[in-house]
Amino acid sequence: MRLSDYDVNKPYTTTLVSSERITPVNWEAEVRHLVLRLPNAPFEYVEGQSIGVLVPGPHEFGNAHHLRLYSIANPRGGDDGRGDTISICVRRCFSIDEISGERYPGRASNFLCDANPGDPVQITGPYGNAFEIPISNDLNLLMVGTGTGIAPFRAFVKRIYQRHGQWKGKVRLFYGAKSGVEMLYLNDLRQDLALYYDQASFKAFEAISSRPHYDAPPDLDRAIVENGAEIWEMVQDPKTMVYVAGLRNAAQKFEAGMEQLAGSPEAWEAAKAALIAEQRYAELLYD
Ligand SMILES: Cc1cc2nc3c(=O)[nH]c(=O)nc-3n(C[C@H](O)[C@H](O)[C@H](O)COP(=O)(O)OP(=O)(O)OC[C@H]3O[C@@H](n4cnc5c(N)ncnc54)[C@H](O)[C@@H]3O)c2cc1C
């Protein structure tokens, strides 16, 4: 779906409650965990959905608005369970002009990363339902996220263990980042996902880039191949759901790893088509 297809006719004004940097200040990549207050929101949201953020104008090229989407990073009810907040995880983005090499700040992400507690933030949505938490707690969940693609899985994992206490199926999170300090919610600054390490069903696998300073995507393919036996067994088990989220080009490493496990690109293509047909595969990828 194109951004212009999203319904933005009923924007809703939230207030920024807090903005916490979750990558170190001396590290180039800035990612923030933002909490927005929703007083008397006319909507409810669930894990796996996204919200739209409308940046205040004026806008270039006569555009009526600048809309960007952000995955909801908390389970329904909010991080504090009180039901009147929503959290998002935002990376400060820049575009690089291919000819001049000049760097231009992305409007939405810089607006959000620069906002201060108390500032209004107009949102739309919630949209989509890429990842639905299965009702049955004996299903296996294979989650693959890169960069800010961890956001929906943070919501997912919190919801699973809040609601079900002990999830009976296997929960496996493969998480790729450029470096250890960019492991969002799993670094020295925030350890939200590590809270679930003592759950017998939960295991997280980290994949970091072997060349973090060359903009190389995380080595997800290596992590996939290293854990190939379990992953391939899970993929073939009708009780396994597969979810992939994050930047499209980083997710290609997931594809490369799965092609190796399957034996060839064609074999993975066929296996993936079967997963989709069986409604056991969902992805939330962006450029
Ligand atoms: C369904 C969906 C969910 C999304 N969820 C999130 C989310 O949870 N957190 C988040 O930060 N972004 C998320 N995005 C991306 C987000 O919508 C914006 O594209 C991003 O914030 C850049 O917008 P901008 O206006 O600042 O800059 P733009 O000028 O639109 O983009 C600037 C540059 O940033 C790159 N870029 C976009 N997103 C990222 C990213 N996450 N990491 C690294 N580079 C990026 C673009 O490719 C582009 O080169 C999501 C996108 C979609 C479609």
Q: Is 134 contained in some domain?
A: no
Q: Is 74 in the pocket of ligand 1 (CB under 6 A)?
A: no
Range of weakest confidence among 64-68, 151-155, 234-238, 274-278: 64-68
Among 127, 152, 185, residue at a domain's last position: 127
pLDDT tens by residue, 108-123: 999 999 999 999 999 9
Q: Is 210 in the pocket of ligand 1 (CB under 6 A)?
A: no
Say what the pLDDT of residue 107 is.
Answer: 95
Which candidate, 19, 38, 283, 48, places its Cα nearest to that of 155? 48
For ligand 1, atom 46, the nearest C-alpha belongs to 287
Range of weakest confidence among 4-8, 44-48, 225-229: 4-8
For ligand 1, atom 10, the nearest C-alpha belongs to 90
Percent of the chain having pLDDT more than 70? 97
Structure tokens at 85: 């907040």
Say what the pLDDT of residue 248 is.
Answer: 92
CA of 112 relative to ligand 1 center, distance in Å: 12
**Ligand 1 atom with minimal separation from the 149 CA:** 8
Are 187 and 247 within one domain? yes
Instruction: Provide the residue type at 68 as one letter.
Output: R
Say what the pLDDT of residue 212 is.
Answer: 61
What's the domain count of the chain? Answer: 2
Are 156 and 278 within one domain? yes
> Locate tokens 């003592």: which residue?
198
CATH number at residue 41: 2.40.30.10
pLDDT tens by residue, 178-216: 888 888 888 888 888 888 888 889 999 988 877 666 666
Q: Is 135 contained in some domain?
A: no
Q: Is 133 contained in some domain?
A: no
CATH number at residue 188: 3.40.50.80
Q: Is 159 contained in some domain?
A: yes
Which candidate, 76, 280, 92, 34, places its Cα nearest to that of 160? 76
Q: Is 247 in the pocket of ligand 1 (CB under 6 A)?
A: yes
Q: Return d(Cα 115, Cα 120) in angstroms, integer.
A: 9
Among 127, 148, 181, residue at a domain's last position: 127
Q: Is 132 contained in some domain?
A: no
Are 185 and 260 within one domain? yes
Mean pLDDT for 22-41 is 93
**Ligand 1 atom with minimal separation from the 53 CA:** 17
Q: Is 95 in the pocket of ligand 1 (CB under 6 A)?
A: yes
Are 150 and 281 within one domain? yes
Look at residue 170 and tell me whether its pLDDT is greater than 80.
yes
Q: Is 67 contained in some domain?
A: yes
Q: Is 104 contained in some domain?
A: yes
Q: Is 274 contained in some domain?
A: yes
Look at residue 163 and tell me whether its pLDDT is greater than 90.
no
Q: Domain containing 154: what range?
A: 140-286
**Ligand 1 atom with minimal separation from the 127 CA:** 1
